[in-house]
Chains A and B, each alone.
Chain A
């Protein structure tokens, strides 16, 4: 706060063990037991092939490489003869040992002369689908109606899914390699002529400047390129749904997908977007708006409910009307603790249940509901550790925090209630409002890819506010949200109601 931190100059050195020569490459590869070198021919034939057997597709090797090689082995005088011999596309020839090493790790077979290791033919027969899951229905973002296709942990499949849903040549994929040790492919997708180039440049620059050894998952990458890493709020939308991804591409946002990750990240994210769900767009607008408002109410209730309980019963019991005071006193009469202990006890219990539920195998998970809901809940009330009313409030608050569609946001909402509980316990209603001001200030400070997080509420943008609380009618909502500064605003020309002339005026 007071002193500007000096940023260390980026270290130029990459990966410590770098191979210098071709023999280094082979020597180190040979240490691994899955690296194989075979001479498939008569003993004196100089041709050899090497590969990682864990990365290649063995059936291709057996069916399309070895038979052809054996057949005409004696005819091979130079490596370039292989092109006409083996029915595999994209045979590459290289003399560069770095390229050789990279190709071996990508599942290529290297063919070369035993005594002349300076040129290599690289046959790409990798088995990318090995170990990938077959089902790709959405696991964590569920919708009752609408498509249920989700991403899986494979880049090619994910790109295929997007390209398949949005078959236009405006859709651009740009690949960047991240990581100095394991080289992960990261793809930035956007719509040419729609997405604001500022976002593309910002995202590209941030990803290119990354210096990490490896990126495990997109959700980790998201934190590395985030505008503010010290906030509990997710600044990018993480989704596994294809329809949501395609929808945001059409809105003018960028999507970052990376290899080995089943989550796409969408940026720039704005706060209110986290409370919308693809299902909103499949339901009639009135019903969808109602559900969206319920979700927003759920978020507010979840943050403030237990804090208000504490504030009222610690400091401001005079705000409770006479008639309501009776049942509350009756339920709290035997509880020996102050409200804050009571609330913290229940809140921590709920979070324990939730965490246990997330870690347990699904088959045992069902017992958790019985243990948590019935045994602990009922028993704490009967043992007079908490009041009945509080149990209802805390359970409702937990329930409403699960209505948030994006998992990362629902976690943030769950976490936020603890500071409010503590503030309410110390300063009552004033504490809650102080927390509220700090929260608003914090949210106003946040930015996602350089775009204010609270858009379109602050800075207020005309036309966006309605869309952040309800789901507008398609007939009225044919433009892209212009607070995202897309290059083209109009999205489609809607059809009007099909039967408009009825009523008093046309009779």
Chain B
């Protein structure tokens, strides 16, 4: 298949912001606060901030790797370095990782619906419904995926206003004293905070679709920084709102917090929040799905992408219907979290080293 991207399929550089930011936000934002307090307690926001800033280094490494590859994506880098077969196998591994990530986001959203909104509708209905949207979006190609990631950032932005409403209940003393924990506690918090930041590694696959690649990387950094600031503020607002003892027992701190908002015509604002979150989750599922399909397509050229998409959605559907108990979701979350951490902090630096050595040898 042609691995060179046509000009007409490319998108403007600023879309990199929306693409990267939207893959990072997901269901995790609704519940990460109660996980991160396990380590550094009320100081955990420091870990969130530090972790977010650390990602800029990883992003820099990714850009360096991409620059050394022949087609500007990790797929061609794998083939350059490891040869056709082993490189192809690595590409398929990568596709597997993205698919896992996609399935995880999908599965998570289906998890939240019966808990908060409906209890009468069975999971297969949601799963089928969302599969239809994913099919429609992803079959439209990268430009449509970009469109959904754009609207998936713009439309839910109005939800951020609701956090301002919460400030009137803030209790500043919950944050004091500052910086009293040990290094190890902060590390534990950072590890727990990692899942919400994952997802932007899809740039390794879609980067050739961005116009003016040399100057566009600033949008990627802006996206990472914006995500970091957003998460840190949400963390701080949550810590100001709940006491530590309470927070440990909450599964969905953000939603519990939002519940306090009421309007004269609307009693439960979190309904709007959960439904609008569909727009936040959709880009994650679609971009990772698209990246996985592209990885497979460029490795095994005989596969027709549309068939592949339909096949994968059928698999997703069955996994979502069969494995919707809590005993599956917790290990699933762990697998995604650890594989993401290994990928970002093990595999990317490893490839970075290879890229540096290759550059030196030339």
A: which residues have CB within 8 A of B? 1-2, 315-316, 318-324, 427-434, 436-438, 440-441, 444-445, 454, 458-460
Contacting pair B275 A432 (CB below 8 A)? yes
B: which residues have CB within 8 A of A? 11-12, 14-15, 113, 117-118, 121, 125-126, 129-130, 132-133, 136-137, 139-140, 143-144, 147-148, 150-151, 262-268, 271-272, 275-276, 278-279, 282, 306-307, 310
Contacting pair A459 B11 (CB below 8 A)? yes
Which A residues are in CB contact (< 8 Å) with B133?
434, 437-438, 441
Contacting pair A316 B271 (CB below 8 A)? yes
Cα of A433 to Cα of B117 in the assembled complex, Å: 14
What are 22 of the A-B contact pairs (CB < 8 Å)?
A1-B306, A316-B271, A320-B265, A320-B266, A320-B267, A323-B264, A324-B264, A429-B117, A434-B278, A437-B133, A438-B132, A440-B151, A441-B133, A441-B137, A441-B140, A444-B140, A444-B144, A444-B147, A444-B148, A459-B12, A459-B150, A460-B150
Which B residues are in CB contact (< 8 Å) with A429?
117, 271-272, 275
| Least Cβ–Cβ distance between A5 and chain B, in angstroms | 14
Q: Which residue of A lies closest to B18 (CB)?
A: A460
Contacting pair A2 B12 (CB below 8 A)? no
Which B residues are in CB contact (< 8 Å) with A440?
147-148, 151
Q: Which of A319, A320, A321 has the most CB of B within 10 A?
A: A319
Cα of A476 to Cα of B12 in the assembled complex, Å: 26
Cβ 8 A contact of A433, one of B139, B263, B279: B279
Cα of A440 to Cα of B272 in the assembled complex, Å: 18
Cβ 8 A contact of A321, one of B265, B278, B307: B265
Which A residues are in CB contact (< 8 Å) with B121?
427
Contacting pair A459 B265 (CB below 8 A)? no
Contacting pair A316 B117 (CB below 8 A)? yes
Which A residues are in CB contact (< 8 Å) with B306?
1-2
| Least Cβ–Cβ distance between A355 and chain B, in angstroms | 31
Contacting pair A321 B282 (CB below 8 A)? no
Given contacts A433-B278, A441-B136, contact A427 B144 (CB under 8 A): no
Which 9 residue pairs are nearest across A and B when measured between Cβ atoms?
A444-B147, A321-B267, A433-B275, A429-B275, A433-B278, A319-B268, A440-B151, A441-B137, A437-B133
Give 6 A-B pairs besides A319-B268, A320-B265, A445-B140 with Cβ atoms closer than 8 angstroms.
A316-B268, A322-B267, A430-B118, A433-B276, A434-B129, A458-B147
B contact patch SS: helix
Which B residues are in CB contact (< 8 Å) with A322?
267
| Least Cβ–Cβ distance between B264 and chain A, in angstroms | 6
Given contacts A2-B306, A444-B144, contact A438 B136 (CB under 8 A): yes
Cβ 8 A contact of B150, one of A318, A432, A438, A458: A458
Cα of A428 to Cα of B116 in the assembled complex, Å: 13
Cα of A444 to Cα of B151 in the assembled complex, Å: 10
| Least Cβ–Cβ distance between B183 and chain A, in angstroms | 43
| Least Cβ–Cβ distance between B239 and chain A, in angstroms | 28
Cα of A103 to Cα of B271 in the assembled complex, Å: 70
Which A residues are in CB contact (< 8 Å) with B144?
441, 444-445
Which A residues are in CB contact (< 8 Å) with B113?
430
Contacting pair A319 B147 (CB below 8 A)? no
Cα of A432 to Cα of B276 in the assembled complex, Å: 10
Cα of A472 to Cα of B121 in the assembled complex, Å: 48
Cα of A36 to Cα of B313 in the assembled complex, Å: 71
A contact patch SS: helix
Which B residues are in CB contact (< 8 Å) with A427?
121, 125-126, 129
Cα of A454 to Cα of B125 in the assembled complex, Å: 31
Which A residues are in CB contact (< 8 Å) with B310?
2
Contacting pair A441 B148 (CB below 8 A)? yes
Which B residues are in CB contact (< 8 Å) with A316?
117, 268, 271
Cα of A323 to Cα of B263 in the assembled complex, Å: 11
| Least Cβ–Cβ distance between A238 and chain B, in angstroms | 26
Cα of A434 to Cα of B131 in the assembled complex, Å: 11
Which A residues are in CB contact (< 8 Å) with B126?
427, 430
| Least Cβ–Cβ distance between A424 and chain B, in angstroms | 11
Contacting pair A458 B151 (CB below 8 A)? yes
Contacting pair B275 A437 (CB below 8 A)? no
Given contacts A437-B148, A445-B140, A459-B11, contact A318 B278 (CB under 8 A): no
| Least Cβ–Cβ distance between A18 and chain B, in angstroms | 42
Given contacts A2-B307, A440-B151, contact A460 B139 (CB under 8 A): no
Cα of A459 to Cα of B142 in the assembled complex, Å: 13
Cα of A379 to Cα of B310 in the assembled complex, Å: 50
Which B residues are in CB contact (< 8 Å) with A431?
129
Q: Which of B11, B147, B279 has the most CB of A within 10 A?
A: B147
Cβ 8 A contact of B267, one of A319, A436, A454, A460: A319
Q: Which of A427, A433, A445 has the most CB of B within 10 A?
A: A433
Contacting pair B151 A430 (CB below 8 A)? no
Contacting pair A1 B139 (CB below 8 A)? yes
| Least Cβ–Cβ distance between B133 and chain A, in angstroms | 5
Given contacts A2-B307, A321-B262, A440-B147, contact A434 B130 (CB under 8 A): yes
Contacting pair B118 A428 (CB below 8 A)? yes
Cα of A440 to Cα of B282 in the assembled complex, Å: 12
Q: Which residue of B lies closest to A440 (CB)?
A: B151
Q: Which residue of B lies closest to A423 (CB)?
A: B129
Given contacts A438-B136, A459-B12, A459-B15, contact A430 B147 (CB under 8 A): no
Given contacts A324-B265, A460-B14, contact A437 B279 (CB under 8 A): yes
Cα of A441 to Cα of B136 in the assembled complex, Å: 8
Contacting pair B118 A321 (CB below 8 A)? no
| Least Cβ–Cβ distance between A504 and chain B, in angstroms | 33
Which A residues are in CB contact (< 8 Å) with B275?
429-430, 432-433
Which B residues are in CB contact (< 8 Å) with A428?
117-118
Cα of A2 to Cα of B135 in the assembled complex, Å: 12
Which A residues are in CB contact (< 8 Å) with B130?
434
Cα of A428 to Cα of B118 in the assembled complex, Å: 9
Cα of A324 to Cα of B263 in the assembled complex, Å: 11
Contacting pair A319 B279 (CB below 8 A)? no
Cβ 8 A contact of A437, one of B14, B282, B307: B282
Q: Which residue of B lies closest to A454 (CB)?
A: B147
Q: Which of B14, B121, B136, B275 has the most CB of A within 10 A?
A: B275
Q: Which residue of A lies closest to B143 (CB)?
A: A444
| Least Cβ–Cβ distance between A340 and chain B, in angstroms | 16
Which A residues are in CB contact (< 8 Å) with B132?
434, 438
Q: Which residue of A lies closest to B277 (CB)?
A: A433
Which B residues are in CB contact (< 8 Å) with A441?
133, 136-137, 140, 144, 147-148
Cα of A431 to Cα of B139 in the assembled complex, Å: 21
Cα of A321 to Cα of B261 in the assembled complex, Å: 12
Which A residues are in CB contact (< 8 Å) with B263?
321
Q: Which residue of A lies closest to B137 (CB)?
A: A441
Which A residues are in CB contact (< 8 Å) with B137?
437, 441
